[in-house]
Amino acid sequence: AQSVSQHNHHVILSEAASLELGCNYSYGGTVNLFWYVQYPGQHLQLLLKYFSGDPLVKGIKGFEAEFIKSKFSFNLRKPSVQWSDTAEYFCAVNAGSADGLTFGKGTHLIIQP
């Protein structure tokens, strides 16, 4: 079975700082990788996903993530964060259509103005 590890549970940054949230997964086969965001009081929304092709994927709101197969990683990045990026960020994998999404425990990001 697959698993997902997010290293940082709480991250506090100032506006305009650069962001990198770590995500590692464990699974020996092909995986499809996702980052979801949950703004306060809202439902989960897809930021970006990777399943093949260019390992650097760009998502909404200036986010990007890089799939590094050798490191089993899919880290999320943003060069300059804004106060409105305050949210919970979830990395997830789907290794097979019958398995659904396996989520990491989430990273609570707080951006200070």
Partner 1 sequence: DTAVSQTPKYLVTQMGNDKSIKCEQNLGHDTMYWYKQDSKKFLKIMFSYNNKELIINETVPNRFSPKSPDKAHLNLHINSLELGDSAVYFCASSLQGKSTDTQYFGPGTRLTVL
Binding site for partner 1 (CB under 8 A): 32, 34, 36, 42-46, 49, 51, 88, 90, 94-103, 105-106, 108
Between 77 and 108, name the residue whose CB sits nearer to partner 1: 108
Between 47 and 111, name the residue whose CB sits nearer to partner 1: 47
Between 13 and 44, name the residue whose CB sits nearer to partner 1: 44
CB of 88 to partner 1, least distance (A): 6
Q: Is 71 exposed, middle or buried (0-12, 13-18, 19+ CB in 10 A)?
A: exposed
> What is the number of helices (H) and of strands (E) in the chain?
0, 12
Bridge partners (DSSP) listed for residue 19: 78
CB of 86 to partner 1, least distance (A): 14
* Gap between the Cα atoms of 108 and 89, Å rounded: 6
CB of 68 to partner 1, least distance (A): 19
* Gap between the Cα atoms of 72 and 10, Å rounded: 22
